[in-house]
Amino acid sequence: MHMADALISPAVGGTMWAATAAIIGYSSKKVREDPDDQKIPLMAVVGAFIFAAQMINFTIPGTGSSGHIGGGMILAILLGPYAAFLAMASVLAVQAMFFADGGLLALGCNIFNLGFFPCFIAYPLIYKNIVGKRPGEKRLFMAATLSAVVALQLGAFSVVLQTVASGVSELPFATFAIVMQPIHLAIGLLEGLATTAVVLFVWKARPEILNPVNGPTSDGALPLRNLLIGFLAAAVVAGGILSWFASVNPDGLEWSIFKTTDAKQLQDPQPGAHAVLDKIQQKIAVLPDYGLKSETDGASGEEGNRETVVDAGKSLSSLVGGALTLLIAGLVGVLLKHRKKSIRT
* Domains held by the chain: number: 1
User: For the residues 10-16, what does the mean pLDDT come to?
Assistant: 96
State yes or no: pLDDT of 337 exceeds 90. Answer: no
State yes or no: pLDDT of 297 exceeds 70. Answer: no
Q: Assess if residue 92 is contained within a domain.
A: yes
User: For the residues 125-136, what does the mean pLDDT come to?
Assistant: 90
> What is the model's pTM?
0.91
The confidence score (pLDDT) of residue 345 equals 52
State yes or no: pLDDT of 296 exceeds 80. Answer: no
Q: What is the average pLDDT score of the chain?
A: 87
User: For the residues 154-178, what does the mean pLDDT come to?
Assistant: 94
Q: Assess if residue 153 is contained within a domain.
A: yes
3-class DSSP string for the chain: CCCCHHHCCHHHHHHHHHHHHHHHHHHHHHHHHCCCCCHHHHHHHHHHHHHHHCCCCEEECCCCEEECCCCHHHHHHHHCHHHHHHHHHHHHHHHHHHHCCCCCCCHHHHHHHHHHHHHHHHHHHHHHHHHCCCCCHHHHHHHHHHHHHHHHHHHHHHHHHHHHHHCCCCCCHHHHHHHHHHHHHHHHHHHHHHHHHHHHHHHHHCHHHCCCCCCCCCCCCCCCHHHHHHHHHHHHHHHHCHHHHCCCCCEHHHHHHHHHHCCCCCCCCCCCHHHHHHHHHHHHCCCHHHCCCCCCCCCCCCCCCCCCCCCHHHHHHHHHHHHHHHHHHHHHHHHHHHHHHHHHC
Q: Assess if residue 265 is contained within a domain.
A: yes
Q: Assess if residue 298 is contained within a domain.
A: yes
Q: Assess if residue 254 is contained within a domain.
A: yes
State yes or no: pLDDT of 142 exceeds 60. Answer: yes
**Higher-scoring residue by pLDDT: 37, 279:** 279
User: For the residues 225-252, what does the mean pLDDT come to?
Assistant: 91
User: For the residues 241-265, what does the mean pLDDT come to?
Assistant: 87
CATH number at residue 220: 1.10.1760.20
The confidence score (pLDDT) of residue 132 equals 87
Among the ranges given (60-74, 203-217, 274-288), the one the predictor scored with the smallest mean pLDDT: 203-217
Q: Assess if residue 22 is contained within a domain.
A: no
Q: Assess if residue 24 is contained within a domain.
A: no
pLDDT bin (cut points 50, 70, 90) of residue 264 is low
The confidence score (pLDDT) of residue 25 equals 97
Q: Assess if residue 27 is contained within a domain.
A: no
Determine the structural domain holding residue 56 and report its residue range: 5-14+41-344
User: For the residues 247-275, what does the mean pLDDT come to?
Assistant: 81
